[in-house]
Amino acid sequence: MGFALTLRCKKAKPLHFVERVLLQHSAFLLQSKYELDQETFAGQSTNLTDEERAERESRRYEIPPTFAIWICDFAIQQQDGFRGTWAIRNESGLTISDKVKYIIYDLTRFNKPEMQIKTDEERWLFLLKHAGGAQSLPDFGDEIIAKAICRILVDKASETLLREQVKSMVLTEEEQDYLAWIKMKGVKQGADQKVREMAKKMLAEGDSVEKVARITELSKADVLAIKAEIHQNLA
């Protein structure tokens, strides 16, 4: 049986992160299923025997274990620790299948100092968390980690590698959409703040709640909340 693994590293928090994990994992699961079928039944002739057809039918919906690992440099609200292993479970906590798992690392919750690092997992997490800001990084006596550190250090990188990294830094459509969303969200928040300031000024001048709501297009409940806030500040 095949085994598939996908790894994602994220620094900027994407919108609908959980839905993105599920969506991309679904696509990866379909790809893994296709590759498993190709490996299992590749080379079969069109004139299959009943035995061969029966075996193919028995494995029609068989899927390989597919584990997705996400390493995130932003807080994951759905989990308490720095590492969470998620699966499909029922309301009693029973796992319906061990073949599908989502392993999510929250680097914001990984705070072990260098002297307390013991496992390979902790070594790599320490490297990933501090690679962008530390002036020097420990290799923990691990040759593979030492090579990784050499690739991270810009002054030791080859010109070819640097050119490739520059190309990879060009914003994708998804990243451009995300930046546009952030920009428009800031614009909307600024506009909302101006409207609320107008409402405060009108209420302070004695205008009725109904008039303020009509002119500012705020809901009556919002205007009443602003009015209560004004009274509380004056008390």
Shared domain check, 120 and 104: no
Shared domain check, 82 and 33: yes
User: Helix, strand or coil for residue 204?
Assistant: helix
Look at residue 48 and tell me whether its pLDDT is greater than 50. Answer: yes
Shared domain check, 118 and 100: no
Shared domain check, 106 and 123: no
Shared domain check, 63 and 32: yes
What is the domain count for the chain? 3
Last residue of a domain, one of 65, 87, 110: 110
Nearest-angstrom CA–CA distance, 65 and 56: 19
Shared domain check, 70 and 155: no
Nearest-angstrom CA–CA distance, 213 and 222: 8
Last residue of a domain, one of 58, 89, 110: 110
CB 78 within 8 A of CB 18: yes
**How many other β-carbons are positioned within 10 Å of the β-carbon of residue 122?**
16
Q: What is the structure's pLDDT at 188?
A: 77
Shared domain check, 90 and 17: yes
Span 153-200, pLDDT tens digits: 655 555 665 566 555 555 566 667 766 766 777 777 777 888 889 988
Shared domain check, 100 and 14: yes
Closest CA to 10 of 87, 106, 153, 134: 106
Look at residue 34 and tell me whether its pLDDT is greater than 50. Answer: yes
The residue assigned the tokens 């997705």 is: 68
Shared domain check, 105 and 5: yes
Shared domain check, 204 and 135: no
Shared domain check, 101 and 16: yes
Last residue of a domain, one of 170, 187, 218: 170
CB 124 within 8 A of CB 103: no
Look up the domain containing 129 and give its range. 112-170
Shared domain check, 5 and 68: yes
Span 69-115, pLDDT tens digits: 898 888 888 888 999 999 989 999 899 999 999 999 999 999 998 88
Span 104-157, pLDDT tens digits: 999 999 999 888 999 989 988 988 888 766 567 788 888 887 887 776 665 555
